[in-house]
Amino acid sequence: MKNYYDILDILPTATKDEIKSAFRKKARKYHPDVNHTIEAEIIFKQINLAAKTLLDDNMRSQYDFAYGFNKKTDHSKQKKFENARYNYTKAKESYKKQTDFAQYFYNFFKETQKTAKTPKKINGEDIVTNVTIAFDEALKGTSRKVNILQSEKCPKCFGAKFVNGSKCTFCDGKGEKVSYKKINIKIPSGIKDGAKIRVKNEGEEGKFGGKNGDLYLIVHIEKNAAFKSMDGFAYLEVPIDPSEAVLGAQIKIPVPDCGTKVLKIPPKTRANTTFKLMESGFLNAQTNKRDPLMVKVFIDISPCMRDKEIEMYRIISQEQNNTLREDFYDRKNYN
């Protein structure tokens, strides 16, 4: 069997500090948390026993005497042998009984491991969440309180998972606390359906000095909205009949928030003409006035025209002498 000095790789003249530092060095290598071999387990027990014996003045002098490390002694070999056996057995027993010592070094080892090793930075994950807003909110801009599930370092064990050697009861040994966090997110006006808003640092918490993740809010706009969006303004398409297009008319237009307004269609209005109805759109928070409402007209006929009406068109068609399509084809370079 190797003697305790050989086990710790130290000289028999080693000081207590040298013994401690040698032990730490060995323990780091052979601790069962690090090294899972049977051999390491045996060595770890040996270095514990060696350090325990050599750090105790009484036990060390007896051990030295028994193994002849103390040159001043002058005893017979038999006596040395007996003493050595006695001490070894005694030390072994007390080692078994006294686990405090091992625990002390275990904790010490853990502490030094923490400071010695610089853990790798781990960046927090991004969090993606969805929100659906109404059409007018998309136009005007709005805000949403978002409830997100975030994990952060446990406030009791600070991520160590253990408190005084036993599992942290606060986080159940997970090292982190999972909680809902309310974050108020501003949604800018004129946002498009499916747009992503990034909120920096509000994702999962980074570990060991790693960066926090970001929070992404994906904005959906309600599909069944009566109003569409054009250049950031509310927008409507409205049919007018041929006589209104030719003669001009005053037509009722529904405006946001349930009212109606009158739009004046001038005579000879052509299809797809867009009108800007001032102060008839959604309320603008910045100006505290209503934005314009965009109205595009298209020419249509009623599905329930009376016979008399249709007869009138016959007269019109006989009077018609225009080159509507020829002009169109010319414009489009069809001939």
Name the site residues for Zn ion (rule: CB under 5 A).
154, 156-157, 168, 170-171
As measured in angstroms, the least distance from the Cβ of 111 to Zn ion is 18
Helix ranges, the chain (H): 4-8, 16-30, 38-55, 57-67, 77-97, 99-116, 135-140, 242-247, 307-319, 324-331
Is the CB of residue 184 less than 8 Å from the CB of residue 197? no
Distance CA 74, CA 247 (A): 134
Nearer to Zn ion, 168 or 255 (CB): 168
As measured in angstroms, the least distance from the Cβ of 110 to Zn ion is 16
CA count, 13 A, side-chain hemisphere, 214: 8
If we measure between CA atoms, which residue out of 314, 99, 294, 135 comes closest to residue 223? 135
Nearer to Zn ion, 128 or 163 (CB): 163
Nearer to Zn ion, 167 or 200 (CB): 167
As measured in angstroms, the least distance from the Cβ of 40 to Zn ion is 29
As measured in angstroms, the least distance from the Cβ of 132 to Zn ion is 37
As measured in angstroms, the least distance from the Cβ of 168 to Zn ion is 3
Nearer to Zn ion, 68 or 206 (CB): 206
As measured in angstroms, the least distance from the Cβ of 98 to Zn ion is 29
Nearer to Zn ion, 154 or 234 (CB): 154
Q: Are strands 176-187 and 249-255 parallel, antiparallel or unpaired?
A: unpaired
How far is C-alpha 13 from the chain's CA centre?
56
Nearer to Zn ion, 104 or 170 (CB): 170
Nearer to Zn ion, 85 or 156 (CB): 156
| Phi/psi of residue 271, nearest 5 degrees | -60, 150
Instruction: Output the DSSP codes for 31-89.
Output: -TTT--SHHHHHHHHHHHHHHHHHHSHHHHHHHHHHHT--TT----HHHHHHHHHHHHH
The token duo for 170 is 């606060």
If we measure between CA atoms, which residue out of 48, 55, 53 comes closest to residue 66? 53
As measured in angstroms, the least distance from the Cβ of 167 to Zn ion is 8
Nearer to Zn ion, 81 or 208 (CB): 208
As measured in angstroms, the least distance from the Cβ of 113 to Zn ion is 19
